[in-house]
Structure 1
Amino acid sequence: MSLKRFEITGPEIDCVVAEFYREIRKNPSLAPIFAKHVSDWPSHEAKIASFWKHAILLERAYEGNPLSVHRAAGDIREEMFPVWLELFDAVLQRTLPVATAKSWSALAHRIGRGLRYGLSHKPGPPKLRF
């Protein structure tokens, strides 16, 4: 019995991640942000592929906290997420079967909503009003 969220293989995940970052490096709005924070692309791509393998295949290889990393960057803005997701969806549609692309896209959009929310709401105790 497979525990993965949907039908996809590790090599397919690696392929999508590599293709996505090729597109990122060409994108006029996202390329400068990524270039500022990523100096070792192979290592970054391996880490992100590990993230997706954890999220989709339920592998335990990924260690990290995406929200903390994006917060620490300091220049990741909410308006970047629609561009990111549009690029990601285009890569999914080009490289995967329709059902797999739709499933991964839904997961990516759900994660994107969580990251956007986390970036727009600062951590700390809630402020109570009386």
Structure 2
Amino acid sequence: MNIANPPFPDLLGRPDIEKLVNAFYERVQADELLGFIFNDVAKTHWESHLPRMYAFWETVLFRSGGYTGNPVAAHAKLVPQTEMGRTQFDRWLLLFRETVDSLFTGPNAEHIKNCAHDMANVLYSRINGVPDPRFDPARLTPEQRARYAKYRAEQPA
């Protein structure tokens, strides 16, 4: 690969977030494992859901999207209605990573994939009442260790 001219651009702003979110949720809706959860169980209202996801990911990546909400509560209410296990979260994460990789390359693309991985673990663990594997020191990647150390250093004493 030519590093000076990567095959895809990096995520640089809101238009890129919208492109990613739209492509990702097209894949989700068509997915045999996840599509029915969004379409039939949650009965997702896409006209309002997509702008919330733009704001969410823009907030995650650029700290500028103005997202407010409670993703844990939104996902937890689905647990009594359908399977929300590791298989579903792993598929969601696979589709997310594949979508990012099909459109973007660069530090922001890598960062948003890492954030999605962390978010999937948090949501899965909280709505299913299981320990979050990110906090098992034996399972942290070097990047996760560095991010956690930076986070801890920034917290007031």
User: TM-score interval w.r.t. the shorter chain?
Assistant: 0.7 to 0.9
Q: Cα 1:11–1:71, aligned 2, differ >3 Å: closer, same or farther?
A: same
Please tell me the residue identity of whatever aligns with 2:110. K
The question of 1:63 aligning with 2:63 is answered no
SS of the residue 1:61 aligns to: coil
1:1-130 alignment runs, 5 A limit: 8-36=12-40, 37-59=42-64, 61-74=66-79, 75=82, 76-121=84-129
Write out per-residue CA displacement over residues 43-76 of structure 1, whole angstroms, 9 at most, x where no aligned residue: 1111111111111111252111000110012233
CA distance, structure 1, for counterparts of residue 11 and residue 20 of structure 2:
14
CA RMSD of aligned residues (A): 1.8
Gaps (5+ residues) in structure 2? 1-9, 131-157
Gaps (5+ residues) in structure 1? 1-5, 123-130
CA distance, structure 2, for counterparts of residue 98 and residue 106 of structure 1:
12
Give the conservation status (yes or no) of the 8 Å contact 1:78–1:119.
no
Relative to the length of structure 1, the TM-score reads: 0.81
Q: Cα 1:7–1:29, aligned 2, differ >3 Å: closer, same or farther?
A: closer
Give the total of aligned pairs.
117
